């Protein structure tokens, strides 16, 4: 019979014990007296005992009601002592952490995060994969991924996102484009051949192309690569120019080209499913990510 008892039933009994009246118990639980009376009627049917009987202006427990009171108090004591997810020490946590990230965030964010993870939670295994925007929503929804590091514009609807920082771009090449130290005009920059980074789907277009168009200019893109790592390697062995996130500089073999104007930067975020909001490991990862001096994401430029 006890399996039919619900936590709300036990909570009502506890309040009646404490207050001595059904009406006061109902008020304490923020329910109507009629609802409390109906619950008590159901409790009596389940237990096969009145539990309480009228006495003066209130009620007193029956012999059986007195007998079960200690058990009810113990149940609530056990419930109150249940450990919260955040109570589990990171040092003893045994699980995996699945992260999806761009090549840039893998270097700037995941690399230092992993070092701290090894020191603080040595039994947590890291599963790292490249970002795939088209499958990101599904993988986070199904729990295949715990968290993704990307830019705000790439977070699908229905997911949570925590801003980490705002990144800006630098224009770079393997050689300086001007003999003087004056910032290069955008019209002069547009005369050079460009390399762009386009993860996932190869494209010669991107946000910087739109930015050039807003200036009434069109740049000539001659190569597209899927990662900033490859972009730096290609730039070192060519006369191409490119925009790369500022946290990747300085980079051996590449020279910054000061400009009169720059394309807008982008906000780096951590994306995750709402069901993970209370996860202690995710909370720790977000705290570490916010505190790191460098991070970032993928943008087709």
Does 153 lie in the same domain as 97?
A: yes
Does 175 lie in the same domain as 226?
A: yes
Kindly give the residue spans of alpha helices, DSSP state H, lying in the chain.
7-19, 22-29, 33-47, 63-80, 103-105, 111-120, 133-141, 186-189, 207-214, 228-236, 280-291
Q: Which of 255, 218, 228, 254 is nearest to 105 (CA)?
A: 228
Does 97 lie in the same domain as 41?
A: no
Cβ–Cβ contacts within 10 Å for residue 218, how many? Answer: 10
pLDDT at 86: 56
pLDDT at 225: 93
Does 133 lie in the same domain as 9?
A: no
Does 254 lie in the same domain as 271?
A: no
Q: Which of 245, 7, 22 is nearest to 149 (CA)?
A: 245
Residue 150: phi and psi, rounded to 5, are -155, -170
166 vs 15, 27, 142, 254, CA distance in Å?
Answer: 52, 50, 29, 23
Residue ranges in the chain whose pLDDT is less than 50 = 294-301
Contacts of 141 (CB under 8 A, 6+ apart): 158, 273
Does 206 lie in the same domain as 145?
A: no
Contact 238, 244 (CB under 8 A): no
Would 98 be classed as within a structural domain? yes
Q: Residue 287 class from Cβ within 10 Å (0-12 exposed, 13-18 middle, 19+ buried)?
A: exposed
Range of the domain at 249: 169-261
Contacts of 39 (CB under 8 A, 6+ apart): 8, 9, 12
Q: Which of 78, 134, 144, 151 is nearest to 300 (CA)?
A: 151
Would 203 be classed as within a structural domain? yes
Residue 121: phi and psi, rounded to 5, are -135, 75
pLDDT in tens, 116-146: 999 999 999 999 999 887 788 888 888 899 9
Give the number of domains in the chain.
3
CATH number of the CATH domain containing 206: 3.40.190.10
Q: What is the DSSP letter of 106?
A: I
> Long-range pairs for 20-23 at CB < 8 Å and ≥24 separation?
20/58, 20/59, 20/60, 21/57, 21/58, 21/59, 22/52, 22/59
190 vs 164, 187, 212, CA distance in Å?
Answer: 32, 5, 8
pLDDT at 87: 61
Does 64 lie in the same domain as 78?
A: yes
5 is written with which tokens? Answer: 């008892």
Would 34 be classed as within a structural domain? yes
Does 98 lie in the same domain as 53?
A: no
Would 198 be classed as within a structural domain? yes
Does 158 lie in the same domain as 143?
A: yes
Report the first-to-last Cα separation within the chain, whole angstroms. 67
Contact 270, 164 (CB under 8 A): yes
The rounded Cα 288 to chain-centroid distance in angstroms is 12
The rounded Cα 1 to chain-centroid distance in angstroms is 44
3-class DSSP state of 243: strand
Contact 296, 167 (CB under 8 A): yes
Does 276 lie in the same domain as 149?
A: yes
pTM above 0.85, yes or no: no
């Amino acid at each position: 019979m006890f399996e039919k008892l619900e936590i709300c039933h036990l909570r009502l009994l506890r309040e009646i014990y404490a207050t001595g009246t059904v009406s006061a118990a109902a008020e304490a639980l923020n329910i109507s007296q009629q609802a409390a009376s109906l619950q008590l009627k159901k409790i009596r049917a389940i237990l096969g005992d009145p539990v309480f009987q009228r006495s003066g202006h209130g009620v007193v427990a029956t012999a059986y009601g007195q007998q079960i009171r200690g058990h009810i108090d113990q149940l609530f004591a056990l419930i109150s002592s249940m450990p919260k997810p955040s109570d589990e020490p990171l040092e003893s946590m045994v699980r995996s952490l699945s992260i999806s990230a761009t090549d840039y965030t893998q270097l700037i964010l995941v690399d230092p995060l992993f070092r701290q993870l090894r020191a603080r939670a040595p039994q947590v295994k890291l599963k790292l994969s490249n970002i795939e925007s088209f499958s990101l929503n599904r993988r986070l929804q199904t729990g295949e991924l715990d968290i993704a590091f990307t830019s705000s514009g790439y977070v699908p609807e229905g997911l949570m996102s925590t801003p980490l920082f705002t990144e800006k771009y630098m224009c770079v090449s393997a050689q300086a484009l001007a003999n003087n130290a004056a910032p290069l005009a955008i019209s002069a920059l547009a005369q050079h051949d460009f390399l762009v980074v386009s993860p996932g789907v190869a494209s010669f277009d991107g946000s910087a192309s739109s930015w050039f168009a807003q200036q009434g200019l069109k740049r000539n893109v001659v190569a597209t690569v899927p990662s900033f790592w490859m972009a730096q390697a290609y730039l070192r062995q060519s006369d191409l120019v490119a925009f790369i996130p500022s946290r990747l500089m300085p980079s051996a073999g590449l020279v910054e080209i000061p400009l009169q104007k720059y394309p807008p930067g982008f906000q780096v975020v951590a994306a995750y499913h709402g069901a993970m909001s209370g996860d202690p490991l995710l909370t720790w990862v977000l705290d570490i990510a916010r505190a790191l001096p460098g991070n970032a994401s993928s943008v087709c430029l």
